[in-house]
Structure 1
Amino acid sequence: MEIDDLDRRIIDQLRVDGRRSFGEIGRSVGLSEASVRARYGRLQRRGVLQVVGMTDARLLGEVEVHLAIRVQRVPLAFVARELSRLAEVRYVASCVGPYDLITDVRCRDLAHLAELLTERVRRINGVEYAEALTVLEVVKDTYLWAGFRDVTPTAAERILPR
């Protein structure tokens, strides 16, 4: 699907605040509320845009881990599908390099992580090797279009009450 500069600016506004109204977004990007609503609906229907709540694992006391996995003897898609079924797994991607799959996992604590790795992940047919990379501190976590445009508020945005 083709998205244009206005679509990207609408998406950026939602990335900064997913609860921002269509009217506020319209004032920020120079469109009417109806135009923003129509573009939002089109982006959502086509699967380009999904607005969700995000949690901070550290503030919740959870353990966040990236799992790097090597697969042998079975199709990669089989292992990816099996990993996707695990509630703790938030993200699964195939990749190139020393690993075949990268996953993001959240667990209640280290005991939960140990159980997940030893009793479930390593028992999936085809998982040859799984390396857990524990997140100690998130330095940057952004969902803005990197380098696409400056997201500094315009003069009108700074004047309008939020």
Structure 2
Amino acid sequence: MTNTGRLTSRPVQLDDVSKAIIEQLQTDGRRSYADIGKAVGLSEAAVRQRVQRLQEAGVMQIVAVTDPMQLGFTRQAMIGIRAEGDTRLLAEQLSAIPEIDYVVLTAGSFDLLAEVVCENDEELIDLLNARIRSLDGVQQTETFVYLRLQKQHYNWGTVRNR
């Protein structure tokens, strides 16, 4: 997938060295190119070039990942949405709402799933009633409130034998 969430026409094939570089950065995104080079058997310059190519190809991004709970956002939920009409248009509208951090078109019981991060239950209620359910095409919503986030990883495509 590209960083826009659209599937690419052809997946990028990574060699073992590129996978090892990505794994190093997944462990610590602030790790120096020199340290990564020592771990994977390349020079600092070669690591820098590979990282740049991987970023330009949309294979990876280097970002800070925050814990919403630590920042005062105490309510997270997944909202299943049943819709009518063009779900792509509805997905674009949902994507424009700042509290929604994840939107996916699905097949099955729901047409779309949207993950939300809110400060509290009152904000979630307002978001549902005033901003999601009021959108054209939304027929029904079902909210799955997170009680505890058990697992969340960002190591797709590089983990070997785990």
Structure 1 and Structure 2 fold alike (TM over 0.5): yes
Partners of 2:67 and 2:140 in 1: CA distance: 28
Q: Paired residue for 1:102, among 97, 113, 123?
A: 113
Q: Equivalent residue for 2:56?
A: 45
Shift of residue 4 of structure 1?
2.1
Q: Paired residue for 1:23, among 24, 29, 34?
A: 34
Q: Paired residue for 1:124, among 135, 147, 151?
A: 135
Percent sequence identity over aligned pairs: 39
Partners of 1:28 and 1:147 in 2: CA distance: 16
Asked if the contact 1:12–1:145 (Cα under 8 Å) also holds between the matched residues in 2, the reply is no
TM-score by length of 1: 0.85
Shift of residue 61 of structure 1?
2.9
Shift of residue 68 of structure 1?
1.2
Q: Equivalent residue for 1:76?
A: 87
Q: Equivalent residue for 1:111?
A: 122
Q: Equivalent residue for 2:5?
A: none
Question: What SS is found at the alignment partner of 1:64?
Answer: strand
TM-score by length of 2: 0.85
Runs of 4+ displaced beyond 3 Å:
145-148
Closer, same or farther in 2 for the Cα pair 1:28/1:145, shift >3 Å? farther
Residue deviations 1:25-75 (CA, integer Å, cap 9, x gap): 111222211111111101111111111111112222311111111111x21
Q: Equivalent residue for 1:149?
A: 160
Q: Equivalent residue for 1:160?
A: none
Shift of residue 147 of structure 1?
8.0
Does residue 7 (structure 1) correspond to residue 18 (structure 2)? The answer is yes
Shift of residue 146 of structure 1?
6.9
Q: Which residues of structure 1 form unaligned runs of 5+? A: 152-162
What is the number of residues matched between the two proteins?
150
Q: Equivalent residue for 2:77?
A: 65
Partners of 1:27 and 1:95 in 2: CA distance: 43
Question: What SS is found at the alignment partner of 2:59?
Answer: coil
Q: Report the aligned-residue RMSD.
A: 1.7
